[in-house]
Amino acid sequence: MRRYSFHKGHATKNDFIVLDDSYGMHEMQPDFIQVLTDRHSGVGADGVIRVVRAGSVREWSGDPNLWFMDYYNADGSVAEMCGNGLRVFARHLINEQLVTSSSFDVATRAGIKHVEISRFGLISTDIGEALVMDETVTVRLGDREWAADKVDVGNPHAVVFVSDGALDRLMLHSAPTWAPSDAFPDGANVEFVHIDGPGTLSMRVFERGVGETLSCGTGVVASAAAYRRRSGFEGTIAVTVPGGELSVAFDGDRALLTGPAVIIGRGEFWI
Protein backbone atom coordinates (compact mmCIF):
# COMPACT_ATOMS: atom_id res chain seq x y z
CA MET A 1 0.00 0.00 0.00
CA ARG A 2 1.24 3.51 -0.87
CA ARG A 3 0.39 6.84 0.70
CA TYR A 4 -0.30 9.87 -1.51
CA SER A 5 -0.96 13.52 -0.66
CA PHE A 6 -3.56 15.35 -2.67
CA HIS A 7 -5.39 18.65 -2.91
CA LYS A 8 -9.01 18.95 -4.03
CA GLY A 9 -10.33 21.90 -5.99
CA HIS A 10 -13.17 22.95 -8.22
CA ALA A 11 -13.99 25.56 -10.81
CA THR A 12 -17.74 26.21 -11.16
CA LYS A 13 -18.21 22.77 -9.51
CA ASN A 14 -16.16 20.87 -12.11
CA ASP A 15 -14.03 19.14 -9.47
CA PHE A 16 -10.50 17.77 -9.58
CA ILE A 17 -7.97 15.90 -7.49
CA VAL A 18 -4.59 17.62 -7.76
CA LEU A 19 -1.43 15.53 -7.31
CA ASP A 20 1.99 17.15 -6.92
CA ASP A 21 4.65 15.24 -8.82
CA SER A 22 7.39 17.69 -9.92
CA TYR A 23 9.76 14.99 -11.11
CA GLY A 24 7.19 12.75 -12.82
CA MET A 25 7.52 9.80 -10.41
CA HIS A 26 3.80 8.75 -10.28
CA GLU A 27 2.53 6.10 -12.72
CA MET A 28 -0.82 7.52 -13.89
CA GLN A 29 -2.51 4.23 -14.78
CA PRO A 30 -6.26 4.26 -15.69
CA ASP A 31 -7.21 1.96 -12.77
CA PHE A 32 -5.41 4.26 -10.31
CA ILE A 33 -7.39 7.25 -11.63
CA GLN A 34 -10.69 5.31 -11.56
CA VAL A 35 -10.19 4.25 -7.93
CA LEU A 36 -9.32 7.82 -6.92
CA THR A 37 -12.21 9.53 -8.70
CA ASP A 38 -14.93 7.08 -7.59
CA ARG A 39 -17.49 9.14 -5.66
CA HIS A 40 -18.43 6.28 -3.32
CA SER A 41 -15.22 4.37 -2.67
CA GLY A 42 -12.58 6.98 -3.56
CA VAL A 43 -11.92 10.69 -3.06
CA GLY A 44 -14.33 11.51 -5.90
CA ALA A 45 -13.82 13.96 -8.76
CA ASP A 46 -14.51 14.61 -12.44
CA GLY A 47 -10.80 14.39 -13.18
CA VAL A 48 -7.25 14.17 -11.86
CA ILE A 49 -4.57 16.76 -12.52
CA ARG A 50 -0.91 15.90 -12.04
CA VAL A 51 1.36 18.90 -11.43
CA VAL A 52 4.64 18.02 -13.08
CA ARG A 53 7.58 19.95 -14.53
CA ALA A 54 7.28 19.94 -18.34
CA GLY A 55 10.86 18.64 -18.57
CA SER A 56 9.72 15.41 -16.89
CA VAL A 57 6.99 14.79 -19.51
CA ARG A 58 8.19 12.51 -22.32
CA GLU A 59 6.03 14.02 -25.10
CA TRP A 60 6.91 17.66 -24.23
CA SER A 61 9.66 19.25 -26.32
CA GLY A 62 9.27 22.93 -25.27
CA ASP A 63 10.50 24.87 -22.23
CA PRO A 64 11.30 22.24 -19.57
CA ASN A 65 10.82 24.72 -16.72
CA LEU A 66 7.11 25.30 -17.30
CA TRP A 67 4.57 23.54 -15.11
CA PHE A 68 2.69 20.92 -17.13
CA MET A 69 -1.02 20.24 -16.51
CA ASP A 70 -1.22 16.46 -16.89
CA TYR A 71 -4.98 15.92 -17.13
CA TYR A 72 -7.01 12.68 -16.81
CA ASN A 73 -10.77 12.15 -17.00
CA ALA A 74 -12.50 10.16 -14.23
CA ASP A 75 -12.47 7.00 -16.39
CA GLY A 76 -8.67 7.21 -16.64
CA SER A 77 -8.55 8.52 -20.23
CA VAL A 78 -6.13 11.30 -21.10
CA ALA A 79 -7.54 14.63 -22.32
CA GLU A 80 -5.65 17.22 -24.31
CA MET A 81 -7.09 20.17 -22.43
CA CYS A 82 -9.34 21.15 -19.56
CA GLY A 83 -10.44 24.78 -19.24
CA ASN A 84 -11.72 24.58 -15.66
CA GLY A 85 -8.81 22.35 -14.69
CA LEU A 86 -6.40 25.00 -15.97
CA ARG A 87 -7.78 27.56 -13.50
CA VAL A 88 -7.66 25.07 -10.60
CA PHE A 89 -4.10 24.20 -11.65
CA ALA A 90 -3.21 27.92 -11.69
CA ARG A 91 -4.79 28.48 -8.27
CA HIS A 92 -2.79 25.55 -6.88
CA LEU A 93 0.49 26.88 -8.34
CA ILE A 94 -0.15 30.25 -6.66
CA ASN A 95 -1.26 28.81 -3.31
CA GLU A 96 1.77 26.54 -3.12
CA GLN A 97 4.11 29.34 -4.31
CA LEU A 98 5.18 27.24 -7.28
CA VAL A 99 4.90 30.45 -9.34
CA THR A 100 5.73 33.91 -8.11
CA SER A 101 3.93 36.10 -10.65
CA SER A 102 0.20 36.57 -11.24
CA SER A 103 0.75 36.17 -14.99
CA PHE A 104 2.38 32.97 -16.27
CA ASP A 105 2.34 30.20 -18.88
CA VAL A 106 1.22 26.62 -18.34
CA ALA A 107 2.19 23.68 -20.59
CA THR A 108 -0.64 21.36 -21.67
CA ARG A 109 -1.05 18.63 -24.29
CA ALA A 110 -2.81 21.30 -26.39
CA GLY A 111 0.18 23.67 -26.16
CA ILE A 112 1.11 26.59 -23.92
CA LYS A 113 -1.78 28.47 -22.25
CA HIS A 114 -1.34 31.88 -20.67
CA VAL A 115 -2.95 32.55 -17.28
CA GLU A 116 -3.69 35.87 -15.56
CA ILE A 117 -4.96 36.13 -12.03
CA SER A 118 -7.58 38.88 -12.21
CA ARG A 119 -9.20 40.97 -9.54
CA PHE A 120 -12.04 39.64 -7.38
CA GLY A 121 -10.54 36.14 -7.29
CA LEU A 122 -11.21 35.37 -10.94
CA ILE A 123 -8.68 33.76 -13.26
CA SER A 124 -8.43 34.51 -16.99
CA THR A 125 -6.97 31.96 -19.35
CA ASP A 126 -5.98 32.27 -22.98
CA ILE A 127 -7.39 29.02 -24.34
CA GLY A 128 -6.21 29.77 -27.89
CA GLU A 129 -8.14 29.23 -31.08
CA ALA A 130 -11.55 27.55 -30.93
CA LEU A 131 -11.99 26.20 -34.42
CA VAL A 132 -15.63 25.85 -35.55
CA MET A 133 -15.67 23.44 -38.51
CA ASP A 134 -17.79 23.93 -41.61
CA GLU A 135 -19.31 20.46 -41.41
CA THR A 136 -22.00 19.60 -38.88
CA VAL A 137 -22.81 16.27 -37.25
CA THR A 138 -26.07 14.81 -35.97
CA VAL A 139 -26.23 14.34 -32.21
CA ARG A 140 -28.75 11.85 -30.79
CA LEU A 141 -29.99 11.56 -27.21
CA GLY A 142 -32.82 9.14 -26.51
CA ASP A 143 -35.33 9.58 -29.33
CA ARG A 144 -34.26 13.17 -30.13
CA GLU A 145 -31.71 14.40 -32.63
CA TRP A 146 -30.16 17.75 -33.49
CA ALA A 147 -27.60 19.17 -35.93
CA ALA A 148 -24.42 20.05 -34.01
CA ASP A 149 -21.35 22.15 -34.72
CA LYS A 150 -17.98 20.43 -34.49
CA VAL A 151 -15.57 22.58 -32.52
CA ASP A 152 -11.89 21.93 -31.78
CA VAL A 153 -10.64 23.62 -28.60
CA GLY A 154 -7.57 21.38 -28.41
CA ASN A 155 -10.08 18.72 -27.33
CA PRO A 156 -13.16 17.71 -29.39
CA HIS A 157 -16.65 19.16 -28.92
CA ALA A 158 -20.11 18.87 -30.52
CA VAL A 159 -22.30 21.90 -29.80
CA VAL A 160 -26.09 21.60 -30.05
CA PHE A 161 -28.37 24.67 -29.82
CA VAL A 162 -31.69 23.80 -28.22
CA SER A 163 -35.02 25.63 -28.02
CA ASP A 164 -36.71 27.22 -24.98
CA GLY A 165 -37.23 24.85 -22.06
CA ALA A 166 -35.36 21.95 -23.68
CA LEU A 167 -32.24 22.31 -21.51
CA ASP A 168 -34.13 21.50 -18.31
CA ARG A 169 -35.74 18.42 -19.84
CA LEU A 170 -32.55 16.76 -21.14
CA MET A 171 -31.89 13.31 -19.68
CA LEU A 172 -28.11 13.37 -19.55
CA HIS A 173 -27.60 10.21 -17.48
CA SER A 174 -26.93 8.36 -20.73
CA ALA A 175 -24.34 9.30 -23.34
CA PRO A 176 -25.34 11.17 -26.49
CA THR A 177 -24.22 9.55 -29.76
CA TRP A 178 -23.41 11.16 -33.11
CA ALA A 179 -23.57 10.43 -36.82
CA PRO A 180 -21.49 9.85 -38.77
CA SER A 181 -19.99 7.67 -36.06
CA ASP A 182 -16.44 8.35 -37.25
CA ALA A 183 -16.90 12.14 -36.91
CA PHE A 184 -15.04 12.00 -33.59
CA PRO A 185 -12.59 9.09 -33.70
CA ASP A 186 -11.36 9.89 -30.17
CA GLY A 187 -14.81 10.67 -28.73
CA ALA A 188 -16.25 14.08 -27.96
CA ASN A 189 -17.67 16.32 -25.27
CA VAL A 190 -21.26 17.24 -26.15
CA GLU A 191 -22.66 20.65 -25.15
CA PHE A 192 -26.36 21.56 -25.18
CA VAL A 193 -26.79 25.32 -25.37
CA HIS A 194 -29.72 27.69 -25.07
CA ILE A 195 -29.39 31.29 -26.29
CA ASP A 196 -30.96 33.29 -23.44
CA GLY A 197 -30.37 36.68 -25.11
CA PRO A 198 -27.67 38.54 -27.05
CA GLY A 199 -24.31 37.38 -25.67
CA THR A 200 -25.95 35.27 -22.95
CA LEU A 201 -26.01 31.47 -23.04
CA SER A 202 -26.96 28.58 -20.76
CA MET A 203 -25.24 25.24 -21.20
CA ARG A 204 -25.30 21.64 -20.01
CA VAL A 205 -22.60 19.17 -20.97
CA PHE A 206 -21.93 15.48 -21.27
CA GLU A 207 -18.16 15.14 -20.93
CA ARG A 208 -16.09 12.52 -22.67
CA GLY A 209 -14.64 10.17 -20.07
CA VAL A 210 -16.90 11.42 -17.25
CA GLY A 211 -20.64 11.85 -17.96
CA GLU A 212 -22.71 14.91 -17.14
CA THR A 213 -20.64 17.44 -15.19
CA LEU A 214 -21.72 20.74 -13.63
CA SER A 215 -19.36 22.73 -15.87
CA CYS A 216 -16.82 22.35 -18.67
CA GLY A 217 -14.50 25.26 -19.50
CA THR A 218 -13.55 24.10 -22.97
CA GLY A 219 -17.22 23.28 -23.57
CA VAL A 220 -18.14 26.86 -22.64
CA VAL A 221 -15.49 28.14 -25.08
CA ALA A 222 -16.75 25.78 -27.83
CA SER A 223 -20.34 26.96 -27.23
CA ALA A 224 -19.33 30.64 -27.27
CA ALA A 225 -17.32 30.15 -30.48
CA ALA A 226 -20.21 28.35 -32.21
CA TYR A 227 -22.65 31.06 -31.04
CA ARG A 228 -20.32 33.87 -32.21
CA ARG A 229 -20.00 32.28 -35.61
CA ARG A 230 -23.75 31.85 -36.14
CA SER A 231 -24.77 35.25 -34.66
CA GLY A 232 -21.84 37.53 -35.48
CA PHE A 233 -21.94 38.71 -31.83
CA GLU A 234 -18.60 40.34 -30.97
CA GLY A 235 -18.79 41.22 -27.26
CA THR A 236 -18.04 39.17 -24.16
CA ILE A 237 -20.28 36.12 -23.92
CA ALA A 238 -21.68 35.13 -20.51
CA VAL A 239 -22.37 31.43 -20.05
CA THR A 240 -24.40 29.98 -17.18
CA VAL A 241 -23.68 26.35 -16.36
CA PRO A 242 -25.27 24.32 -13.52
CA GLY A 243 -22.15 25.02 -11.40
CA GLY A 244 -21.91 28.79 -11.91
CA GLU A 245 -21.00 31.54 -14.36
CA LEU A 246 -18.16 31.86 -16.86
CA SER A 247 -17.35 34.44 -19.51
CA VAL A 248 -15.62 34.21 -22.87
CA ALA A 249 -14.08 37.13 -24.75
CA PHE A 250 -12.44 36.82 -28.15
CA ASP A 251 -9.25 38.50 -29.29
CA GLY A 252 -9.40 37.68 -33.00
CA ASP A 253 -9.93 33.95 -32.90
CA ARG A 254 -8.27 33.48 -29.50
CA ALA A 255 -10.72 32.69 -26.74
CA LEU A 256 -10.16 34.17 -23.28
CA LEU A 257 -12.04 32.19 -20.64
CA THR A 258 -12.56 33.83 -17.23
CA GLY A 259 -14.05 32.35 -14.07
CA PRO A 260 -13.43 31.33 -10.48
CA ALA A 261 -11.34 28.46 -9.14
CA VAL A 262 -10.76 27.34 -5.56
CA ILE A 263 -8.72 24.74 -3.72
CA ILE A 264 -11.04 23.44 -1.02
CA GLY A 265 -8.65 21.31 1.01
CA ARG A 266 -5.93 18.72 1.10
CA GLY A 267 -5.52 15.21 2.42
CA GLU A 268 -3.94 11.80 2.09
CA PHE A 269 -5.18 8.57 0.59
CA TRP A 270 -3.79 5.04 0.62
CA ILE A 271 -3.80 2.72 -2.36
Ligand X SMILES: N[C@@H](CCC[C@H](N)C(=O)O)C(=O)O
**Contacts with ligand X, residue ranges (CB under 6 A):** 14, 47, 73, 79, 82-85, 155, 189, 207-210, 213, 216-218
Q: Please compute, for residue 2, the number of CA atoms within 13 A of its CA located in the half-sphere on the CB side.
A: 7
Q: Minimal distance in Å, beta carbon 239 to ligand X?
A: 12
User: How far apart (Å, rounded) are the C-alpha atoms in residues 24 and 58?
Assistant: 10
Q: Choose the catalytic residue: 11, 82, 222, 239.
A: 82
CB nearer to ligand X: give 54 or 88: 88
Q: Minimal distance in Å, beta carbon 49 to ligand X?
A: 10
Residue 264's SS3 state is strand
The answer on whether 144 is annotated among ligand-binding residues is: no
Q: Minimal distance in Å, beta carbon 50 to ligand X?
A: 14
Contact in structure between 243 and 169 (CB atoms under 8 Å): no
Burial 24-45 (b: 16+ CB within 10 A, else e): bebebeeebbbebbeeeebbeb
**Catalytic residue check, 82:** yes
Peptide bond before 156: cis, by omega within 30 degrees of 0? no
**Catalytic residue check, 216:** yes
The answer on whether 207 is annotated among ligand-binding residues is: yes
CB nearer to ligand X: give 107 or 210: 210
The answer on whether 95 is annotated among ligand-binding residues is: no
Catalytic residues: 82, 216
Binding residue ranges: 14, 73, 83-84, 155, 189, 207-208, 217-218
